[in-house]
Structure 1
Amino acid sequence: MNEEAYWFDYRIELEDGQVACLHIELDPVTLTMAPTSKGPYPPWTQLSYKQCQCCPLSPQTELYCPVAVNISDLVDRFKDILSHKNCMVVCETVDRTYSKKTSAMDALTSVFGIVMATSNCPVMDFLKPMARFHLPFSSVEETTARSTSLFLLGQYFKYKKGEVNGFDFDELEKSYARVQLVNEGLLARIQSLGKEDADKNAIITLHSLSQFLSLEMDFSLSTVAHLFERGSDA
């Protein structure tokens, strides 16, 4: 393990005693996830196989989809596990440890989220700063606050460099709209795999979240706006 890397150790223990341990390590400079497998990779991970509509990569120069490669092991491990199965999840990080008794889908959604954000997919790269401060099992409200706050922090640094003149959420909204297309593309890739639904439901949850965040940009961040409204007795 690189001592300078950011790392996240997940342990997912299902009710029937099955245990999955996942080590995710991010390069401290690029925030790119270290590959967990050297292959061979299944055919559905090839870039040309159901390539995402918004993908800027070319099958002529890239043989594999970077996200598909990094989730292939997860999909294989969980393809026959029902999403509603309960499990105990522990996520140990550099700074602290999180734990939660939850569903397999919730656990996988948390894992898929950080893996997809750090796999060097050009569409997902804007999520790397948020992945650095990965919050397992985050709620919609928490994710909204984190994503918008870090986006505005990034805009501030661009403003200091003279790269932008003001702050708005137009760019972030467009970015999340493209994330929806990536989620749809990944779901299409794994749609025919496995008899059960935990892996597919995890992707669907991420897709729903990206849809919600896109809508939130249109509706003035209503789920968090009340936190900044001061009552008369405050």
Structure 2
Amino acid sequence: MSFDELSLLRKMTGQLNWTVRSTRADLSFDMIACSTHFKGGTVADLKHAKKTLVNLKESKAILRFSNLGDLSKAEIWLFTDASYGNLNGGTDSTQGYVLFLVNPNNGKCAPIDWRANKIDRVVTSTLAAEAISLTRGLDAAVAFKWTMQELLGEDCNLSVRAIIDNKDTYESVHSTTDVAERKLRREIGVVKQMIKSKELDQLIWVRGPHQIADPLTKLGANAELLTKTLQEGKIPNDVVMAMRS
């Protein structure tokens, strides 16, 4: 592409980034895909960015913040996901999370934060990508928990539940044996320590169709579950049941 075309790609990606961070979580991966082509981008990348902007303008973004009742009895639910080797020709991977404040009795929720980006180091497995995504999401969840304690008082100790769809990550966290990849031991160790210190109350494994964060890390992933949750201000019943099974 020419210099002007690359400048246009950067401008459109900037517009996408601003909107994704404020209202359009479902377009997170499209934004990431655009941002990784600032060098060596093609006309096809420019067309993809334009198509995403058209989609953004033609579809409404609705965010519902439900009345959760007594906030001291609410819980923090963190959905994290990752995709291994799906950026830059298979070199880089994607991580993402969605954070909710939830009334556990009826599933009503308020979206607190979402984020998706390229993992900041090259990883060698799906397990590594998922574990890194989990730790990044937990960092945000615990920071939000501390903020709520400052607002509501130290007696407000909100439970934090993390939901993942990668069975290897779940089993590694609950195993007494170290993972083979030494770099990965740090991330797994962090999660284990957070469980031990009660910063993380529960790590839950669900199957892929129940992972709300799935479209943040994959091109073309079905965003219906994520969009429905944000629009209705309620965690879908099938997701809640999957978490409890």
Shared fold, TM over 0.5: no
| Bigger share in helix | 2
Higher strand share: 2
